[in-house]
Structures are given as C-alpha cells and as structure tokens.
Amino acid sequence: MKIINKITTLLVVLLLMNINAFTQLKMDSENSQPKKTESKTTKKNTVKMTVLYDNYLFSEGTKTAWGFSCVIEGTEKNILFDTGGESEVLMHNIDKLNINPESVEIIVISHNHWDHTGGLFTFLEKKSGIPVYLPHSFPGEFIDKVKDSKATVILTNEPVEICKDVFSTGEIEGPVNEQSLIIKTNKGLIVVTGCAHPGIVNIIKRAQEIMGEEVYLVFGGFHLMRHSEEKVKEIISQFRELGVKKCGATHCTGDKQITQFKEAYGNDFIEIGTGRVLEF
C-alpha cells in the first residue's frame, strides 16, 4: 500500500511539473511575440505655393507687373521667395490672396535685380526680425539696408538647407549671379527660379547634383526672351533628358518661348500667373 501511495504521489508531482513547464513555455512564447501597437497614420504636410507677383494674370482681382514673387507654405517654415518690383503691387496681392505677412518666417532673394527686390523693404516693415537669404555677391549697401530693417542677413555661396526639405542651390555664377530654391517632396524635387540668369538647364543640373534626385517641377522665370526658336527647342529637349516631369515657365521667359514649352509639355505644362496656387 505504501508503494502505491508513493507511486501516486510521484505521478502527481510529475503532472504538476509538466503543467508548470507548459505554462511557462506559453508565457515565454507570448512575451517573445512583437507587441501590437496602435497604428498611427502619419500625415504628410501639403506644400502650397502661391504666386504673389508676376507679369501674367491668373486670378482676377490681383495686379500684374514686371517681376516675380511667391510664398511657400506647408514646409517646416513659411518662405517668401523674391518680392517683385513694386511694393504696392506686392502688398495688394498679399492682401487679396489672404496671405498673412506675420506667417512668413524666412525670405529668400534670388538675385540683385529691382524686379525681385522691389517689395522687400515694405514687406520688412510688416514683418521684421526674420532671416533674409541673399546671394553672397550682393552689394554691401543693400546688405546694410536689410540689417537696418532689423532683419538677419544670411549670405549664400554654397548650397545650404534653409529649413527641413528646402534648400538653396547656393550662388550660381552667370551674367547675373543667382540662387534658386529646391523643395523636396514625395513627388520629386520642385525648383523655383527667379530669372535663371545662370541658365535654366544649369540650375536644374545643380539641383540634381545637390539632391541626387530628378526634378519633378521647375517654375519661375527662365530668361529666354532673346533665345531663338531652335535654341528653345534644344533647351526643352534637355529638360526631357534630365527627366523634368512638369514645367511652369513665366515672367522673363518670353511669350513665344512660353508657347513652345506649352506645346511641348501639353498637360504637364502649368500656367503661372498672379494668384496661381500649386499644392503637392
């Protein structure tokens, strides 16, 4: 009888040991599984670009004049690129298009021509104390005047990141030295030009060298007014070879030359003018 009791006790102990081992194994297995976390949808900011100044009209009620300016919103910081030629026209369009000057956090000036700097100092009266990016070759008296407006001057020579995903090409040499903007989006690079005096193809190539990506859209002044039809055809061919998907030639490109880009790009040509809003 004692032997039977001992055997029974032994069996119970073995059974309990197996149960404990199984329970521990299950717990270890559950702990080794990746923890489930609540999925969060990452919202991508929409990059919004509004043309404030141009010699072409897009939205009724805005004013046109020779020059160029646009405001870029939705990036890490809101950027005013160029300021047109006449401050009255710039400020009228800013008001008409419901742009709050206080929302602008950075100003970038492409080059030292009146039709891109004309509205700067009036704008700085509305929003002072912000960084103003100028090409390195700007004259000292202009730089001093910007500083006197209580703005911070940042001179660009080499390419520089202005804020997250927004870059200056740096000052590119040409008949007039100039910088352009590069905006990195999930569609590709967007290049914004003032007048493209160093050559629009050179600017596109510089953007690709800096970022290592293709250009999705380039818009602004291309400065092709005095170029022949054959030369513009050659430039359009270079755009295609470089992989430029969309084009928005305006300002100093020239009427005939803009028509050539329209015909070549078809639905991928983007009309640019005062009040035009582009969103990506």
pLDDT tens digits, 217-250 = 999 999 999 999 999 999 999 999 999 999 999 9
Residue pLDDT, tens place only, 190-226: 999 999 999 999 999 999 999 999 999 999 999 999 9
Phi/psi at 102 (5° precision): -65, -20
Mean pLDDT, the chain, integer: 89
**Alpha helices (runs of H) in 168-254, residue ranges in sequence order:** 200-211, 229-241
Mean pLDDT of 141-149: 97
Token match 């030292």: residue? 112
Which region among 24-28, 116-120, 144-148, 257-261 has the lowest average model confidence (pLDDT)?
A: 24-28
Q: What is the pLDDT of residue 45?
A: 77
pTM for this predicted structure: 0.84
Tokens representing residue 272 in the block: 């640019």
How would you label 200-220 residue by residue, b for 16+ Cβ within 10 Å and e otherwise?
Answer: bbebbebbbebbeeebbbbbb
pLDDT single digits (tens) 84-100? 999 999 999 999 999 99
Q: Which fold has domain 48-279?
A: Metallo-beta-lactamase; Chain A (3.60.15)
Q: What are the respective helix, strand and coil percentages of the chain, to the nearest 5? A: 40, 25, 40
H or E segment to which residue 221 belongs:
strand 215-221
90: CB partners within 8 A, 6+ apart: 52, 53, 69, 83, 84, 118, 119, 122, 123
Instruction: Report yes or no: 200 and 224 within 8 Å, Cβ to Cβ.
Output: yes
Mean pLDDT of 54-74: 98
Nearest CA among 219, 222, 216 for reference residue 184: 216
Residue among 42, 35, 40, 64 nearest 51 (CA): 64
Report the pLDDT value the prediction gives residue 254, as an integer from 0 to 100: 98
pLDDT tens digits, 245-277: 999 999 999 999 999 999 999 999 999 999 999
At 44, the pLDDT band (50, 70, 90 cuts) reads: low
Please choose, from the candidates 177, 151, 272, the residue with its C-alpha nearest in 3D space to the C-alpha of residue 218: 272
